[in-house]
Amino acid sequence: MASGSSDTDGTDRGIDASDGNANDRPIEEYPLPPGPDGYPIVGNAFQVVRDPFGFYDVVSTHGDVVQYSIVGNTFTALLHPDYVERVLVSEHERFERYLFADLGLDIGAEGLVMSDGEQWRRQRGVMQPVFTTDRVQSYGETMATYADRATKRWDDGDVIVANKEFSRLTLRILAEALFDLEVDPTSDDEAVVRAARAINERADARRLSTFLPGWVPTLADRRFERTMDDYRCRVEELIEHRRAVGADGDDLLSILVRAGGSGESALSEAEISDNLVAFLFAGHETSSVALTYTFSLLAQCDDVVDELRAELESVVGDDRPGAEHARDLEYTDAVITEAMRRYPPVYMLFRRALEDVSIGGYRIPEGTILTLPQFRLHRDERFYDAPEEFRPERWIDGSKRDRPEYAYFPFGGGPRHCIGMRFATLEMKLIVATVLRRFDLELLSDPDPEISATTTFGPAADVRIRLHRR
């Protein structure tokens, strides 16, 4: 399928990335985007809250640039990869990141996820070198060790709740990578574990209904704040300890403490602490959701599992899967890529227009919140044959070449793309390899699970898998 096809209503609205300025027409002369009817004041809020994913079926009937409103906020959905590219990459400076603060999630105002402008740029500069392919390899040993230990605890015939099991596993890996801490995710003793759990629960409770007015602090809010205060105290304690013993480790905390010294890029205490909140939020449930769906899909596709095992046999042989094999695990990579196409853990990105812009022949007024929904673009028939099918081959059979780049963006794009992308990819590859070498999978839950619209695209109900030792 070629890129640059016309919009769904058949009219060519100019997918050219430079549209709007190409013929020097003033932006004010462009019409506002079309969109579904809403109610006075609340706009489309009820439709969104009732069925956020189904609402986008309605949205997409209006074209690739579609406006709707929720309680006084104007949203515009962008449903074409070229528009996604403009917002995230080529014209990124015209848009700012939007949402997390509005969700009421305390995920570190001074950290990478929440900050903007110069503060964000400086921190990204400090942390980018920590997440290069080579540096991430050094976390491979931790990932492989924890994956190995988890699968050794499992027995023939065990039923695992995949979403919980992988959430615990990815938290163990992250705590080690961030803090050099060995945690027990099933215990309440460690403030890091309590914070990770609280962030997840909080994210869960903050559905899209957050946009509705009338939010008042509750008991749960205060409990959440106390947990986050404990976590910050714990992080400070760990920072002090690093300073005392000399921070020469490979964990992120040591690296941030070293960067905290002096000079232009120095990170303040608050920035170090808030980054560790941000990473706890961004770096574990996302990978867990991706793994849950990957295994759920694999359990339904014997031929894919056969192919994957053949690759493992030839690349890994009798060794323990490790970072040194990752580069050659091409089919494994395609499997994970395809799973994240079907079920993107982060299913929608949000940006706010900092000025009036025109996209696809429409005027997007300053202040408009743009939504870039992976869950729609990743399943768009214009870019994927049989989008509902799980076909890892589509990433290695050459058809990728005909697809616009931003028809697939599970890790976002442009300067604010996921800094943990290589970390997550290595982690997922090693976990998939370790599990599949030891077990056959039998899916006991719904093969096409209902999705919950929280901060990740997690399954609404537990995903149960029975393990059969090979």
Nearer residue to ligand HEM within complex by CB, 42 or 199: 199
Could you give the 3-state DSSP secondary structure of residue 114?
coil
> Interaction with ligand HEM in 65-94: which residues (CB under 6 A)?
none
Q: Pick the closest to residue 168 from 147, 199, 139 (CA basis).
A: 147
Show the CA angle centred on residue 14, arms to residues 8 and 20, nearest 5°: 130
Residue range at the interface with ligand HEM (CB under 6 A); choices 11-19, 36-44, 198-206, 342-350: 342-350
DSSP of 304-355 = HHHHHHHHHHHHTTTSPP-HHHHTT-HHHHHHHHHHHHHS-SS--EEEEESS
- Note whether 162 binds ligand HEM by CB under 6 A: no
- Sole binder of ligand HEM in the list 48, 160, 228, 419 (CB under 6 A): 419
> Interaction with ligand HEM in 379-398: which residues (CB under 6 A)?
none
- Note whether 224 binds ligand HEM by CB under 6 A: no
Q: Which tokens belong to 266?
A: 């120095």
Q: How far is the CB of 434 from ligand HEM (least distance, A)?
A: 17
Nearer residue to ligand HEM within complex by CB, 211 or 423: 423
Q: How far is CA 91 from CA 21, 76, 406, in A?
A: 13, 16, 14
Residue range at the interface with ligand HEM (CB under 6 A); choices 12-20, 158-166, 393-401, 409-417: 409-417
Residues 156 and 469: beta-carbon distance below 8 Å: yes
Q: Which tokens belong to 350?
A: 């949000």
Q: How far is the CB of 336 from ligand HEM (least distance, A)?
A: 8
Cα(226)–Cα(377) distance, integer angstroms: 39
Size of the site for ligand HEM (CB under 6 A): 23
- Note whether 103 binds ligand HEM by CB under 6 A: no
- The residue with its CB nearest to ligand HEM is 420
Residue range at the interface with ligand HEM (CB under 6 A); choices 10-18, 202-210, 283-291, 300-308: 283-291
Q: How far is the CB of 23 from ligand HEM (least distance, A)?
A: 31
Q: Pick the closest to residue 276 from 113, 464, 157 (CA basis).
A: 113
- Sole binder of ligand HEM in the list 196, 346, 443, 453 (CB under 6 A): 346
How many Cβ atoms from other residues are within 10 Å of residue 466's Cβ? 16
- Note whether 283 binds ligand HEM by CB under 6 A: yes
